[in-house]
């Protein structure tokens, strides 16, 4: 802890991790809660991703988890041969379990439309997701 001019305590961070830009900052973290998606995920396939039909809203709501039928914080697998809907790790963790059993690592949040790579353990963004973003905007 340090003190500022008003003698009010301030905190400094001792966290230091080498980021992808080679310096000692984590370039994917901004402030206490904001996350900048990783732009260079090596697991994104060289194809244009599309929104699976399983991810389409039902009566204005996101589709339920295929296992527990939870209807909030669900994710859709973006593997080209799969389109399973699974709940988040903050619910019953069915999308995480799907990754662990299938190896399908890229998924899309149906709550906030963020993309995630389980192999990188990071939110990601890539130009190959542009079609998905366009489809989400038209819902």
Where exactly are the structural domains of the chain?
A: 54-132
Q: Taking residues 12-30, what's their average pLDDT?
A: 45
From 134, 111, 137, 119, select the one nearest 38 (Cα to Cα).
Answer: 119
**CATH superfamily to which 54-132 belongs:** Zinc/RING finger domain, C3HC4 (zinc finger) (3.30.40.10)
**Dihedral sign from CA coordinates of 115, 117, 123, 127:** negative
Q: With 60 as the cut, is the pLDDT of residue 2 above it? A: no
Q: Taking residues 31-48, what's their average pLDDT?
A: 88
Q: What is the pLDDT of residue 128?
A: 97
Q: Whole-model pTM?
A: 0.75
Q: What is the pLDDT of residue 138?
A: 84
Give, as one character, the DSSP assignment of residue 107.
E
Q: Taking residues 16-33, what's their average pLDDT?
A: 51
SS3 74: strand
């Amino acid at each position: 802890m340090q003190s500022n001019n008003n003698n009010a305590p301030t905190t400094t961070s001792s966290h230091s991790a080498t980021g992808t830009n080679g310096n000692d900052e984590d370039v994917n973290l901004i402030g206490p809660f904001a996350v900048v998606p990783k732009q260079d995920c090596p697991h994104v396939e060289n194809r244009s991703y599309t929104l699976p039909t399983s991810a389409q809203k039902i009566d204005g709501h996101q589709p339920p988890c295929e296992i527990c039928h939870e209807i909030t914080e669900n994710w859709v697998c973006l593997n080209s041969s799969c389109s399973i809907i699974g709940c988040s790790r903050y619910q019953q963790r069915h999308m995480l379990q799907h990754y662990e059993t299938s190896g399908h690592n890229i998924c899309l949040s149906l709550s906030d439309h963020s993309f995630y790579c389980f192999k990188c353990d990071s939110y990601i963004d890539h130009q190959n997701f542009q079609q998905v973003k366009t489809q989400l905007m038209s819902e």
